[in-house]
Amino acid sequence: MCVSTITFKYAHLFAVPMKEAGSKKNWVLMLFIVIIMIGTSFSVFLYNDSGQSQVVRYEGIKFTGDGTKWTAKINGRFAAFSFLPGELADIKTPPELSGVLGNRIEIDVTSDANSTFKESIALAQHQIGLVMGNYGVYVYQGFTGNNSFNFPVVTCGDATSAVPVIYFQESNST
């Protein structure tokens, strides 16, 4: 005996008989319950303000945090960040860095496939790709050597003035 035969055979056990006179009342009640359920669902999405968002201004840019990330509107587009700029102020970067990375169509990122921090590096590379994609910059990912992931080999030797390479590597300092 197939399942559909069982379902059909015993379907009459689950049928709820309705009286003709009370049928209109039942439909109105059912419609009212459906409207309440839909309204409640939409109110959760429209008015879900947990009070957890923070707003921080840094050099004229408004950053809004939700506990998991910071977002800011930069050059007319939204970008997401893990850290505020002030939290990263102690990291020393060469002054020519913004000139090297700015106004590019493509930026290559690379790391060692067997790095101890491969998961964190992969997340950082992915996030860079998402943010830079908003600004029309393609982020090309690779590894410094042959790998089992079929990713291309990208080294600092591949860097050009048009396509810089960011090399993520382990270190005792940032």
Average pLDDT over residues 69-84: 90
Distance, CA of 118 to CA of 148 (rounded, Å): 14
Instruction: Kindly report which listed range (3-7, 49-53, 60-64) carries the lowest average pLDDT score.
Output: 3-7
Does the pLDDT of residue 108 top 80, yes or no?
A: yes
Residue pLDDT, tens place only, 17-51: 555 555 666 776 776 676 766 766 655 555 555 55
Does pTM surpass 0.95? no
Rounded Cα–Cα distance for residues 163 and 140 (Å): 10
Residue 118: burial class (beta carbons within 10 Å; 0-12, 13-18, 19+)? middle
